[in-house]
Amino acid sequence: MKKPIVFSLFHDQSVFMTAIMGIMTFLAVLSLGLALAIGTGIVNWNRQWDVHATVQVTNNEKIDTIKRVFETNQDKIDTIRQINDDEMSTLMKPWLGGGNGVLKKYLPTMFEIKFKSRADMNTVGNLVGNNARFIPHHDALRPSISAGWKMVMILTLLLGLIIVTIGTCVSFIARNTAILHKRELEILNQVGASDHFVTKQMQMIVAKICTTACGIGFIVACPILIMIVGVARSARVGLMAMLEISGAGWIALLLVPFIIVLFAIMVTKRTTLKILNCES
Amino acid sequence: MTPQFFFTNIPGMEDNTIISFAGVGARYENNPDILTDVSFNISAGSFYFLSGASGAGKTTLLRLIYHLHRPCRGTIKIFGNPTNSMSRDEITEMRHKMAIVFQEYSLLSHISVFDNVALPLRVRGMDEAKIKKLVTKTLEWVGLAKYANANPKTLSGGQQQRVSVARAIIVQPSIMLADEPTGNLDDENASRLMELFIQMNKMFNTTIILATHNSKLMETYRFPIMHVENHKLTFSGPTHPHISAKKTAPEIHDVGYFADLSKQFNDIGNK
């Protein structure tokens, strides 16, 4: 079949359908893109701090014991750095305010350590035992990471809602077209058109409209997504700085318009067959 | 008109039966029956007029045969197959051997005359080159070749009816149902259209049921008459209307089919 015969009738709804499908694709690409960016950011962030820990010595009498532990386990430690008093004062300034000089003597001694592996970190952590507070960074970051995953979940839920909306819109458009052009469907019936033929006609038009709409939606969404991720990274704060869409992520995003077109074609087939069966 | 028995009582006719009704009733939703206990057999190659007052049930009878309407009771057999339990695909398959023409033309106004006539071939998935050849020939035959690219809405009533007939006839149906096809035509064009149907019937053994109000037409062409009155169907007129020259309809790609007919209908309705 070279061209759709009957459903140039769809023109009545093609502007509306192109607009709605374009917007839906835009939102779907944006929500999936942000979910991927945040997800990748969390994974990268986690990986970055996975072998980091802070040792906080509150009892000055235990400092030598702790240092000895570090010395005897040098093979497990990649880097170690004692946070000096000035850095501590700066870190604590929001809570302590002025009077650093007086409070200095109450500040704990802190070490920032990067271990060679997670197992090494656990071994040293056990040796530190009750002599000091051993704080793995991934534990400290857990609330932020949990919040990040929750955002990914919300965006995934949003993507699901967008897909449901697309299905509903396509179904209603197919239904409206069938109602508006009941007479034409009857004529097709009269000249011996099979359900398969009518459905194929509808699918061809929906595919054509959706390909255009989804293409536009994707093209508009991509630069906006790049801009959002770029702005977030430029903030250089925590998880925000780690947002990223990988190559695989972009391939997944590229698949979104194709999946939406296929989904729309599938919904059209289902709806049209349902309408035709109801009419018989 | 004198009601008569029909072909069921003629020995050996059953094998040739193409349309069979047994105790068929029809109604629309919960309204009273339009047709009650209709039973008859029609053999292949017959030509019938279908008469009756407006609203008597002529169109309903044609719709029942074409399976555009389901009977509320009784059994309908087309080509020997009961239609009551047919699936939608089977109905479509059955309709590929039938055609129906309505008084109101039933043309698609957003596509050209050519595409309207090509529609039944396209829905059958025929090759475009063959479609072009057949449609061109058919349009020449009904005298509308020069209107191929025109919108049907720009044509006169008679011309639109010819497009509708061309669309029906292009599939070379075994059964042709025509619902008041001459209703919007003047006498001359009505006669020409009748000649077309008669040629189809004689040359290609097409079974034709033609619903009409036109008593002059029925007097001129003395075919048996199916008469719908008081929800019942009765028959009158000659019982052996036609002995066909051919037993089967020609193949759909046989352009000669139209070449033969075109001699009769070259300029139908152009005057």
DSSP B100-136: EE-TT----TTS-HHHHHHHHHHHTT--HHHHHHHHH
Averaged pLDDT, B134-143 = 85
Q: Which range among A33-47, A81-95, B107-121, B202-216 shows the weakest confidence by mean pLDDT? A: A81-95
Q: Is the pLDDT of residue B59 over 80?
A: yes
CB contact under 8 A, B128 and A5: no
User: Is B71 part of a structural domain of the chain?
Assistant: no
- The rounded distance, in Å, linking the Cα atoms of B158 and B182 is 8
**Closest chain B residue by Cα to residue A276:** B88
User: Is B15 part of a structural domain of the chain?
Assistant: no
**Closest chain B residue by Cα to residue A191:** B120
Coil/strand/helix, residue B259: helix
- In this structure, how many other beta carbons lie within 10 angstroms of the beta carbon of residue B109? 13
Stronger pLDDT, A236 or B61, i.e. the higher one: B61
* pLDDT of the residue at B249: 40
Q: Which two tokens stand for residue B163?
A: 């497009």
CATH, residue B251: 3.40.50.300
* pLDDT of the residue at A242: 83
C-alpha distances (whole Å) from B260 to each of A232, B202, B221 are: 79, 12, 21
List the B81-82 sheet strands across, edge first.
B35-43, B17-26, B73-78, B81-82
Helices B187-204 and B256-265: crossing angle, nearest 10°? 150
User: Is B196 part of a structural domain of the chain?
Assistant: yes
Give the H or E element holding residue A27: helix A11-49
Which ipTM value was assigned to this complex?
A: 0.71
Question: A274: distance to nearest CA of chain B, Å?
Answer: 12
Angle at the Cα of B31 from the Cα atoms of B25 and B34, rounded to 5 degrees: 35
- Among A8, A187, A194, select the one facing B92 at the smallest CB separation: A194
Question: B112: distance to nearest CA of chain A, Å?
Answer: 10
CB contact under 8 A, A5 and B124: no
- The rounded distance, in Å, linking the Cα atoms of B13 and B243 is 12
Q: Is the pLDDT of residue B252 over 50?
A: no
Question: In sequence order, what are the beta bridge partners of B208?
Answer: B47, B176
pLDDT tens track for A32-66: 999 999 999 888 888 878 889 999 888 878 888 88
pLDDT tens track for B215-230: 888 888 889 999 999 8
Question: A6: distance to nearest CA of chain B, Å?
Answer: 8
Chain A residues touching residue B68 (CB < 8 angstroms)? 186, 189-190
Stronger pLDDT, A201 or B237, i.e. the higher one: A201
**Closest chain B residue by Cα to residue A11:** B110
User: Is B77 part of a structural domain of the chain?
Assistant: no
CB contact under 8 A, B123 and A195: no
Its domain, for residue B217, covers 46-59+88-223+232-265
A1 pLDDT tier (thresholds 50, 70, 90): very low
State the number of CA atoms in the 13 A half-sphere of B101 facing the CB. Answer: 30
State the number of CA atoms in the 13 A half-sphere of A216 facing the CB. Answer: 13
User: Is B68 part of a structural domain of the chain?
Assistant: no
CB contact under 8 A, B110 and A9: yes
Question: B103: distance to nearest CA of chain A, Å?
Answer: 13
The percentage of chain A sitting over the pLDDT mark of 70, rounded to a whole number, equals: 90
Q: Which two tokens stand for residue A16?
A: 């509306």
Averaged pLDDT, A111-126 = 89
CB contact under 8 A, B92 and A190: no
Coil/strand/helix, residue A233: helix
pLDDT tens track for B33-43: 899 999 999 99
User: Is B175 part of a structural domain of the chain?
Assistant: yes
- The rounded distance, in Å, linking the Cα atoms of B197 and B269 is 15
CB contact under 8 A, A189 and B68: yes
User: Is B207 part of a structural domain of the chain?
Assistant: yes
Q: Is the pLDDT of residue B9 over 50?
A: no
Q: Is the pLDDT of residue A257 over 80?
A: yes
B8 pLDDT tier (thresholds 50, 70, 90): very low
pTM of the model: 0.70
* pLDDT of the residue at A255: 95
What is the count of structural domains for chain B?
A: 1
CA A7, distance to chain mean position in Å, is 39
User: Is B3 part of a structural domain of the chain?
Assistant: no
pLDDT tens track for A2-19: 455 555 545 556 788 888
Q: Which two tokens stand for residue A279?
A: 């009419």
- The rounded distance, in Å, linking the Cα atoms of B223 and B214 is 13
Q: Is the pLDDT of residue A278 over 60?
A: yes
* pLDDT of the residue at B246: 39
